[in-house]
Amino acid sequence: MTLFILKLAEYTKYPFARYSVDGPHSAEEFRTEWLIPALEKNHQIILDLNDVTGFPGSWTEEVFGGLIRSHGYTATELRERLSIDVLDELIEYEIWHYIKSAEK
């Protein structure tokens, strides 16, 4: 079993735009260029969301809801393979909420 730690702060400390066309540090770019390749190469991922300022809801929803809508992952599969490391428990709750909502 391969375990990989993916640190959002290495991509950006200021997540902002939902889509790539909306500006830098977009959720779409993070998902497609960083998170999906990590999921394809590794069985288990710890996604470290610490050392980042702010998590706009649209950014967070696009990253995690997009895993379901655009890439065919299921909530069950993500629960088994993805661990969220973040100090604010509300952010983790929101992430799993967006994942479940996108699956409906």
Within 13 A of 46's CA, how many CA atoms are on the CB side?
8
- Residue 1, pLDDT > 70, answer no
Domain that holds residue 54: 3-103
**Residue 29 corresponds to which tokens in the numbers above?**
């770019």
Of residues 93, 43, 87, the one with CA closest to residue 64: 93
Q: How far is C-alpha 16 from the chain's CA centre? A: 13
Q: What is the pTM of this model?
A: 0.93
Average pLDDT of 25-38? 97
* Backbone φ and ψ of 47, nearest 5°: -95, 110
- Pick from 76, 66, 55, 71: nearest CA to 98: 66
Report the domain count for the chain: 1
* 49-75 residue pLDDT tens: 999 998 999 999 999 999 999 999 999
